Each structure stands twice: as C-alpha cells, then as structure tokens.
Structure 1
Amino acid sequence: MARRTGFYLDKRNGKFMGVCAGIADYTGFDVLWVRVATVLATMFGFPFPLIAYLVIGWVADAKPGNFYLEEADPEDRQFWQKTRAAPGRSIREVRSSFRDIDRRLRDIELAYTSPNNRLAREIDDLKHQ
C-alpha cells in the first residue's frame, strides 16, 4: 500500500525522471527553484549531484495515479506537505482546530440553553409588537 507521506517521483510534472518534481512535491518548494538548485549543485559539485539524481530516479517509486486525483484541491496538497514536513505539528494544529471548534460550540450551547432573562424579555417584546 502506498503511503501518502512518502517520497515519490512525480513523472507527470517532471521533465526528465521526475526527481526534482518529486522533491518539490515532498518539500512544498516551487519546482523551478528545485531545478535551479539541482543545476547549480551539479555545476559546482560535479559528479556527485548528478549521480545522486540518477540513483534517486532509479530507486524511488513513481507517484501512484490516485494521488494525482486527490491533489486537485490545493488545500489538500498543502495539508499533506505540512504533514510530511512535520507530522507532530500537523497533529497539534488539527487538535487545536478541534478544540477551538469545540469551545465555540460550547459557547453557543451555553447561550442557547442558559436562562437569560434579558434575552427572553427581548424575544417576548418582539412577539408582542
């Protein structure tokens, strides 16, 4: 089974083997900057970056087709990039969001169910007008 948070070659958006597009998808950087960094690293560190590129292109798996369908939503893509970068932080953000929603629901429930005489009076006044 394919892991959603793993590194995959992005052959659909790639130019040669999909390594730079895969790195960009995994890290959240723009693919143009990843490609520029790869070219500069190859120019200044020849032949090691080129060998690493070829090895990654040979060893890494291609991105499963169903992941392309799931990424149609930019919000979904951003969520998975955050999750890959820092899973613990993503979990904390989700928990914080749920705590905030829960707090707001409690406030609404309290306002709705509490005996608020002033509010009841205003509603009765509106009914009798």
Structure 2
Amino acid sequence: MNTVRTKFYRDRINGKWLGVCSGIADYTGLDVLWVRLGFVVATLCGLGFVPVIYIVLGIFANAKPYGLYTDAREEKFWQGVRQSPTRTSREVRAQFREIDRRLAEVEAYYVSSNPRLANEIEQLR
C-alpha cells in the first residue's frame, strides 16, 4: 500500500488556522464544514482536550505534500482506501474483471468467423 497517500496530513492550503480540520476532512472524506462544526460543538460541550488535541496535531502532523493527488478521482480513491481497504480492493478487482470481460468480447468478435467483417475487408482490397 502506498503509505504516502494513506497518512494523515495537515492541509494548510484549504485550512483556516493550522489545517487540522481540513486534514481530517481530507483523510476521512467528510466535508470540512462538518469536521469544523464537530470541533466547535465538542469544545463548547466542555471537552477541554479537543483544543489541546487540535494544537498538538497542528504542531506535530506533517503538512500535506504538494501534488499528492493528480485529480479529484484519485483523491476519492485514496479516501476509500483509508476508509475500507478491503472494499476498495474488491472494487478494483471488479473493475479488472469487467475490463477482462469486455476484452474477451472484443477478442471473440474479431477472432470468430465474422462473414460481414470478412466481406468489408475484401471490399477494401
């Protein structure tokens, strides 16, 4: 597994202060608004350790590398890997089976005796 893309990073580019909430949102695939609201609600409910955890993560977590994902589709894929590696591997295997099935259909079409195709090729000669 590619550990660079499965680690937690602070996302200073999309973050407001230290980028911790944005990093958590990127890591889990949740909307950053809900993560921020969760931090605010937890803090207001008297959980005093939440701001401490935020600051500790802001200090010790690595910043998100530039160009970690090439596009939004790749970002969504790696979020799925982090959430459920087993499900993601099943999805990848299913995609490969579908590609293999389609390739077999193409191969069967061109390898089998196809009189219409043979006539078209003869007309082109």
- Shorter chain as normaliser: what TM range? 0.7 to 0.9
What's the offset of the Cα at 1:121? 5.7
In 2, distance between residues paired with 1:65 and 1:20?
18
- 5+ residue gaps, structure 2, are none
User: Hey, what does 1:22 align to over in structure 2?
Assistant: 23
State the one-letter code of the partner of 1:87: P
* Cα distance, 1:102–1:59 mapped onto 2, change above 3 Å: same
Match of 1:47 in 2: 48
Distance 1:122 1:36, change over 3 A: closer
Q: Note the C-alpha offset of 1:76.
A: 1.3
Q: What one-letter code is carried by the residue in structure 2 that aligns with 1:78?
A: K
Normalized against structure 1, the TM-score is what? 0.82
Partner of 2:113: 115
In our comparison, the structure showing a higher alpha carbon Rg is 1
2:97 is equivalent to residue 96 of structure 1: no
Q: Which 4+ stretches in 1 moved above 3 angstroms?
A: 121-125
1:77 aligns with 2:78: no
Q: Distance in 2 between matches of 1:55 and 1:121?
A: 71
Matched AA of 1:24: A
Query: Amino acid of the residue matched to residue 33 of structure 1?
Result: W
Relative distance call for 1:82 and 1:122 in structure 2 (3 A) is: closer
* Identity fraction in percent: 50
Structure 1 portions without partners, runs of 5+:
none
Between the two proteins, the alignment pairs up a number of residues equal to: 120
What value does the CA root-mean-square deviation take over the aligned residues?
Answer: 2.1
Flag the 1:106–1:45 CA change in 2: closer, same or farther, 3 A.
same
Amino acid at match of 1:37: G
